[in-house]
């Protein structure tokens, strides 16, 4: 057998041939078209009347109906209308064919009855096949799109469901940490108060060891109280931003002055020199923003390099995307690259009790920035080489 004569056997997983309903009362014409379609690889069923066409369409759901306009019982236009109004056959493509109804208005009528295309006979065999292929391609693309849309709809609904479950559990968690922090403060206050009372009233009867024990007890209670206070601030910052902290046009020069004022004592004590130009006006809530500036400045003070005077350089650079990049660079002890991400995790500290702190400060900064749609990160060349905290804030102003 020559290679050209080999017959290709359909593989079992091949899709079944596309079914076409060929409707024409003129038998020779119908026969020629059926042969043409079969040779092109389609499956074909035939009908010689409108009634038979409707029956077969409902029974076999063809992909395409090749529909003659002039049929002995029902007009092809009516057959088309009935197919198109059948909810089970919405995907069926109708291609009208006519040798007599060839005028413009007649073709318009055919297309208005719902047909997808209209060919005037005699039709060249290649043109007929190309038209069939093109119509089927369009229909396939439409149904693929519909399928993709409906699976997108399902995914969206699932996303909305997961989102609202997440929001609910987040709110529960916020409520829990808020209440826990609140309720824990009270017994701590009692511990601190009574240990102070003990020292005051019975201090003279206690030996130095007992006095030291009491001192440690007080110190631990104070640290825990600080931790709980910061936890409370962090929990509060997670509450609904729309009701707690609406954004407004906020002059960052004012914010910086407020933060400096609040930290005046430690700034003077450390002899900090600030280097900065004019800062922009951004769209944030000034209260958390002041807290953010305060945290960054007080960290620069806490983690300064004792061998050199501390300098904090604040710069602002518009980003061209509606945001402004603001950086706080210090010449302090720096941060090893391995910790650049971890320091923003709540309670993550790189220091022991020798430096006061709870590890909440930067987590709070991140939350404040992210709630304003921005980002915060740190850049540092490593230990001893200073740190630069960068953040983005929206600059567009409210009118």
Q: Which residues bind ligand ADP (CB under 6 A)?
A: 295, 299-300, 302-303, 330, 332-333, 335, 343, 348-351, 357-363, 387
**For residue 131, how many other CB atoms are within 10 A of its CB?**
19
Closest approach of Cβ 316 to ligand ADP, in Å?
19
Pair 214, 195: CB distance under 8 Å? yes
**How far apart are alpha carbons 139 and 18 in whole angstroms?**
12
Cβ-based nearer residue to ligand ADP, 46 or 330: 330
Rg over alpha carbons for the chain, rounded to the nearest Å, is 39
Q: Which is nearer to ligand ADP, 77 or 310 (CB)?
A: 310
The answer to whether the CB of 56 falls within 8 A of the CB of 10 is no
| H or E segment and range at residue 2 | none
Closest approach of Cβ 171 to ligand ADP, in Å?
24
Closer to ligand ADP by Cβ: residue 229 or 349: 349
- Residue 24 DSSP label: -
CB of 139 to ligand ADP, least distance (A): 60
Beta carbon nearer to ligand ADP, 175 or 353: 353
The minimum distance between CB 356 and ligand ADP, in angstroms, equals: 7
The nearer residue to ligand ADP, 70 or 388, going by C-beta atoms, is 388
Strand partners, 44: 20
Q: How far is the CB of 309 from ligand ADP (least distance, A)?
A: 15
Instruction: Enumerate the β-bridge partners of residue 130.
Output: none
Q: Min. distance of Cβ 388 from ligand ADP in angstroms?
A: 9
How does strand 93-98 pair with strand 117-120? Answer: parallel
Q: Which two tokens stand for residue 268?
A: 């003077």
Least distance between ligand ADP and beta carbon 306 (Å): 13
Task: Say if residue 122 is preceded by a cis peptide, omega within 30 of 0.
Answer: yes
**What CA–CA distance (Å, rounded) separates 145 from 147?**
5
* Measured distance CA(310)–CA(24) in Å, rounded: 94
Token representation of residue 56: 């077969």
Question: Could you give the CA distance from residue 277 to residue 55 in angstroms, rounded to a whole number?
Answer: 83
- Given the complex with ligand ADP, which of 283 and 312 has the nearer CB atom? 312
CB of 398 to ligand ADP, least distance (A): 31
Q: How far apart are CA 180 and CA 168, in angstroms?
A: 18
């Amino acid at each position: 057998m020559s290679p050209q004569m080999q017959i290709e056997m359909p593989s079992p997983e091949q899709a079944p041939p596309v079914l076409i309903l060929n409707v024409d009362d003129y038998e020779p014409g119908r026969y020629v078209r059926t042969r043409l379609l079969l040779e092109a690889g389609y499956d074909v069923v035939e009908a010689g009347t409108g009634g038979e066409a409707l029956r077969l369409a409902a029974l076999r759901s063809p992909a395409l109906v090749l529909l003659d306009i002039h049929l002995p019982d029902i007009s092809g236009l009516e057959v088309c209308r009935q197919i198109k109004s059948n909810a089970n056959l919405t995907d069926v493509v109708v291609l009208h064919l006519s040798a007599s109804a060839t005028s413009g208005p007649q073709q318009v009528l055919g297309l208005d009855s719902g047909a997808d295309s209209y060919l005037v006979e005699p039709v060249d065999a290649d043109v007929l096949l190309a038209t069939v292929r093109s119509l089927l391609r369009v229909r396939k693309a439409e149904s693929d799109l519909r399928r993709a849309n409906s699976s997108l709809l399902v995914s969206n609904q699932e996303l909305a469901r997961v989102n609202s479950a997440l929001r609910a559990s987040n709110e529960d968690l916020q409520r829990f940490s808020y209440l826990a922090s609140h309720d824990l403060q009270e017994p701590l206050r009692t511990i601190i108060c009574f240990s102070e009372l003990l020292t005051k009233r019975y201090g003279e009867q206690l030996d130095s060891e007992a006095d030291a024990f009491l001192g440690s007890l007080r110190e631990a209670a104070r640290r825990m109280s600080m931790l709980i206070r910061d936890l409370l601030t962090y929990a509060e910052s997670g509450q609904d931003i729309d009701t707690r902290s609406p954004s407004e046009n906020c002059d960052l020069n004012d914010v910086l002055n407020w933060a400096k004022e609040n930290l005046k004592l430690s700034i003077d004590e450390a002899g900090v020199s600030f280097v900065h130009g004019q800062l922009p006006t951004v769209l944030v809530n000034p209260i958390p923003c002041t807290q953010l500036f305060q945290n960054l400045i007080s960290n620069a003070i806490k983690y300064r390099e004792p061998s050199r005077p501390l300098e904090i350089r604040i710069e602002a650079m518009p980003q061209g995307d509606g945001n402004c990049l603001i950086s706080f660079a210090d010449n302090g002890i720096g941060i090893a690259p391995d910790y650049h991400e971890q320091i923003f995790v709540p309670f993550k500290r790189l220091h022991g009790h020798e430096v006061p702190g709870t590890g909440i400060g930067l987590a709070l900064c991140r939350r404040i920035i992210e709630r304003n749609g921005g980002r915060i990160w740190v850049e540092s060349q490593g230990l001893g080489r200073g740190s630069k905290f960068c953040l983005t804030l929206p600059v567009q102003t409210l009118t």
